[in-house]
Amino acid sequence: AKNGGRNQLELYHEKMHHNGSRQMKLATFLRKAIEKNELFLVYHPIVDVQTNKIISVEALVRWKQDQFGLIPPSEFIPIAEESGLIIPISEWIIQKACEDLQTIHLQGYSNLRMSINISALHFSQEYFVKSINDIFQKTNANTNYIDFELTESMIMPNAHETVNKLVKLKKLGVKLLIDDFGTGYSSLSYLNRFPLDILKIDQSFINGLSSYEDDCSIVEAIITMAHRLHLKVVAEGVENKKQLNFLQNEKCDYIQGYYISKPLPIHELLSFFTSWETE
């Protein structure tokens, strides 16, 4: 037989064992990733639809491990969240992004914003706001140019506690963005209860723009609703001109996606800026 006579169940167990040991090894290696300098950030440009200028970049973490090579964040962030390792990693990411924002500003792109993904576990800590403030103090960050990307599932539980936390965060000067909008909670009541500034429409809806009429209606509705609530809108995962044209017509504020660029390391980002007008 094709599988050397092994049945489906045996193959399944083999696969689970394989995955289990990969996951366990990654968890072990992850513990040393910061001190071994294996983590780095890449930056994904965000463009103003009306002016076509780059107004912001999103920091995205990468892990290059000796044996396993480049491990995607979709694989190691969940491992880091489970083990608690995400907290030092998240602090490292935020600090590095603040430092790189200084570098970008010093290069003359002084209006550029930095968008930073926040980990669920880090956000849920009581000392979250203090740890953010400590990083801002340490890096002397210009907090008016920083956006935090949160997801619906992070802010929905303990809504009361969350409001306080978000208000405190906003007092530090940052703007707040809801990431992956449309994929989480069905309740929209939080949108005006929380001090939010920006909605980022999940890329699954943007993917569907070229082929699904329903996705067009959903994106249209999200943009209209967001503007009524005085929120700016980012569309993520824009890969072609057709999607851009649709979003332009619908008065979407900002776009992000491979149509503009892939996420870039800081030095490549700076040379990309020289070929594209920035804010």
Kindly list the residues in this chain that would bind ligand C2E in the complex (CB under 6 A). Answer: 44, 59-61, 72-74, 77, 90, 93, 117, 119, 179-180, 236-239, 256-258, 263
Ordered alpha helix ranges (H), the chain? 8-30, 73-83, 86-106, 120-124, 128-139, 152-155, 159-171, 190-193, 203-207, 213-228, 241-249, 266-274
Q: Which does 108 bind (CB under 5 to 8 A by kind): ligand C2E, Ca ion, none?
A: none
Q: Which of 120, 114, 141, 132 is nearest to 58 (CA)?
A: 114
Which residue is at the shortest CB distance from ligand C2E? 257
Distance separating alpha carbons of residues 255 and 252, to the nearest angstrom: 8
Q: Which does 59 bind (CB under 5 to 8 A by kind): ligand C2E, Ca ion, none?
A: ligand C2E
What's the closest the beta carbon of residue 83 comes to ligand C2E, in angstroms? Answer: 14
Distance separating alpha carbons of residues 234 and 181, to the nearest angstrom: 10
Nearer to Ca ion, 107 or 259 (CB): 259
Nearer to Ca ion, 199 or 244 (CB): 199
Nearer to Ca ion, 152 or 250 (CB): 152
The residues near 190 (Cβ < 8 Å, ≥ 6 apart) are 152, 155, 156, 159
Q: Which does 94 bind (CB under 5 to 8 A by kind): ligand C2E, Ca ion, none?
A: none
Nearer to ligand C2E, 108 or 265 (CB): 265
What's the closest the beta carbon of residue 198 comes to Ca ion, in angstroms? Answer: 11
Q: How many Å is the Cα radius of gyration of the chain?
A: 20
For 44, 82, 110, 213, 220, the CA distances from 210, given in Å and listed in that order, are: 23, 37, 36, 8, 14
Number of neighbouring beta carbons within 10 Å of residue 134:
13
What's the closest the beta carbon of residue 249 comes to ligand C2E, in angstroms? Answer: 19
User: 73-83 and 86-106 helices cross at what angle (nearest 10)?
Assistant: 130
**And the tokens for 143?**
């907090």
Nearer to ligand C2E, 3 or 103 (CB): 103
Name the site residues for Ca ion (rule: CB under 5 A).
117, 149, 179-180, 236
Q: Which does 237 bind (CB under 5 to 8 A by kind): ligand C2E, Ca ion, none?
A: ligand C2E
Nearer to ligand C2E, 12 or 127 (CB): 127
Q: Which does 178 bind (CB under 5 to 8 A by kind): Ca ion, ligand C2E, none?
A: none
What's the closest the beta carbon of residue 90 comes to ligand C2E, in angstroms? Answer: 6
